[in-house]
Amino acid sequence: MTSATDPDARRSSPSSLRNREPIAQVLRQHLPDHSRVLEIAAGTGEHAVYLSAQLPVAHWWPSDISADAINSINAWREDANPAALHPALHLDVSRPVEETVEHLRDAGVSPARFDAIVCINMIHISPWQATEGLMRTAGAALEDGGLLYLYGPYRQHGQHTAASNARFDADLQLRDPQWGVRNLEDVCKLAAGQHLKLLDVVDMPANNLSVILQKSRPASPSSSSHD
């Protein structure tokens, strides 16, 4: 019987092989057992295969906007056959969040609620609207106390953290003016609008950062006191 997925569809990224274990080490410190995880912009699928096997997750749903990426994710998944990893979902988080949640439900992800959302190397290689959509999705789909994990290069206090990041930023903007290394403070401000508070920032290899945000329950209006 022939495979349902062409193994030649598998794409590979050298950076995925280098950073997957450092990422796993950070996530191990934060993910609860039996987690339900949604991965946004899963790319080649190599992170999804590795992390879903290494971490204490019950379900891992990889997703991407690219058909080539989805084919690669599913080819890696079929080759590795990890128990917790689901087939890839086509997901465009820049669309209205109601459509994103409805799409997840239509794809059989029920409930469309997650203990964590993981997004690796997307924010700098996409328009800002994608980051806005990511935050809306996290605000709508994370459980209270759920985590949003971001990985990639960031400026801090308006400054690049390394000369190599400055060169990378310039190259990104030449490729697409809507791309670029973002200010971490801007990302966190956007996250705060969706009740996501900064929990931790961890220095990672190759001048990248792990950024962990946590969804908090919106504060209920306090009853006003009268003199």
Given a cut of 60, whether residue 110 has pLDDT beyond it is yes
**pLDDT reading at 222 higher than 90:** no
Q: What angle do CA 215, 52, 109 make, to 5 degrees?
A: 60
Cβ atoms of 6 and 71 within 8 Å: the answer is yes
Condensed to tens digits (0 to 9), the pLDDT of residues 189-205 reads: 999 999 999 999 999 99
Domain boundaries, the chain: 22-215
Band (pLDDT 50/70/90 cuts) for residue 5 is low
Entry pTM: 0.92
Specify the CATH class of 22-215 in words: alpha beta
Q: What's the pLDDT at 4?
A: 53
Whether 183 shows a pLDDT value over 70: the answer reads: yes
* Residue pLDDT, tens place only, 43-55: 999 999 999 999 9
- Give the percent of the chain with pLDDT over 90: 86
Q: What is the pLDDT of residues 154-164, one digit of tens each?
A: 999 999 999 99
